Amino acid sequence: MNTTVEVLGFAREPGWLPWAVTYFFLIGISTSAFFLSLPGLAWRHPDWRHVSWRALLVALVCGVAGPVALLADLHQPGRFLNFYLHPNLGSWMAWGSFFIPLYLCGLFLYAWLCLRPQLAALGQSGDRFVRVYRALAYGGHDNRGAIKAAALLGGIGAALILLYTGMEVMVVQARPMWHSPVLPLLLFVTALSGGLGMTGLFEALSGSKTGAPLINRWLVRCQWAMLLLLLSWGLSGVSGMSSAAAEALAAMQGAFSWWVTGAWLIGSTVLTLWLASAYRHTLVLPTLFALQGVWLVRWVVLMVSQSLPKMGATTRHYALTMTPDGLLGIVGMVGLCLTIYVVLTSLIPWNDLAQDRGVQS
């Protein structure tokens, strides 16, 4: 008896490009860094004051740069404006267009209120921008009640962004790697790891290691949580408890590249865990490995997973190209972040904030 097997293949270009990875990377770091700034600046916990000032700088740099990557991913302003002109309230992506302005308004208001005393001091320093500093200080009062109110507004926006970025991916049932309740938790934990990593990197760039023990302590906790989430996802697929995870694992079994990627992800997470545990007063290596882990998770979830066929048997691998939608775009966003960092650190002495005011309660 003859048996006919028909194999269907549909080769499509990836729907999401590296711009989306960059946006998820930066906005996750910004929102988590915002939360890291709260213990020292809003609640005035003395152990966190130093780290919180660095975290606020991270939140501002990545918070300004992140939406730029999102706009680039939409390719034209009309697609962005369409979210407001014709809102689809049944879409998590559409809700995100409202959550982002909410978070940014809360972040900028919170940062301004925290920086007002320093701006007032700069207004008395005789600097050439003295009038600008005085205008921005608007009296220079340290209003703790207003800071807490702004922190609440920004915290709500940050939490909603972390929620929607996870949910807009998870609800896509056609992608088995995405359709899992573990994914939003994994994105949240890695975002927190990225916030700690970028805060530690900014600390290292300033030449200080004061916040290293605290940052590394929390990095260790994030890496453990990340390993547990990856293990739970794998076990849910192997045991059959999650049909989506099982389908994703089945699609990855025959590809050697997936085994290499998985081994690198787990290995780098373990390495970050070891570095943060063994070298608590070191920042560069633990933070760099933490940041590459955050990027790798988003690259695998958003880009590599699109190579898995939604139907049929065709696998299409994405190749990073030297185009604005590829490597040039990523390099450009790094340059934008560096520019924002240089501008902010040139106008405001963040080292003085972290050191001199860090001892005040």
Per-residue burial over 224-247, b if 16 or more Cβ lie within 10 Å, else e, is ebbbebbebbbebbeeeebebbbb
Closest CA to 261 of 329, 307, 323, 221: 307
pLDDT in tens, 251-295: 777 677 778 888 999 999 999 999 999 999 999 999 999 999 999
Q: What angle do CA 167, 67, 35 make, to 5 degrees?
A: 65
CA distance 110 to 41: 10
pLDDT higher for 315 or 221?
Answer: 221
Cβ 10 vs Cβ 312: under 8 Å: yes
CA distance 161 to 171: 15
Cβ 298 vs Cβ 274: under 8 Å: no
Q: Which pLDDT value is given to residue 16?
A: 77
CA distance 91 to 70: 17
Closest CA to 182 of 109, 115, 233, 224: 233
Q: Which one of 13-22, 223-232, 325-334 scores highest in mean pLDDT?
A: 223-232
Q: Where are the domains of the chain?
A: 18-309+333-350
> Which 8-state DSSP code applies to residue 314?
-
Q: Which pLDDT value is given to residue 359?
A: 36
Residue 183 reports pLDDT greater than 50: yes
CA distance 186 to 298: 10
Q: How many CA atoms lie within 13 A of 255 on its CB side?
A: 20
Query: Predicted confidence band at 30 (pLDDT cuts at 50, 70, 90)?
Result: very high
Q: What average pLDDT does this structure show over 298-321?
A: 72
Pick 18-309+333-350's CATH classification: 3.30.710.10, 1.20.140.10, 3.40.47.10, 1.20.1630.10: 1.20.1630.10
pLDDT higher for 180 or 174?
Answer: 180
Closest CA to 147 of 183, 191, 116: 116
Q: What average pLDDT does this structure show over 212-226?
A: 96
pLDDT in tens, 102-111: 999 999 999 9
Per-residue burial over 285-312, b if 16 or more Cβ lie within 10 Å, else e, is ebbbbbbbbbbbbbbbbbbbbbbbbeee
pLDDT higher for 234 or 126?
Answer: 234
Tokens 């929607």 belong to 164
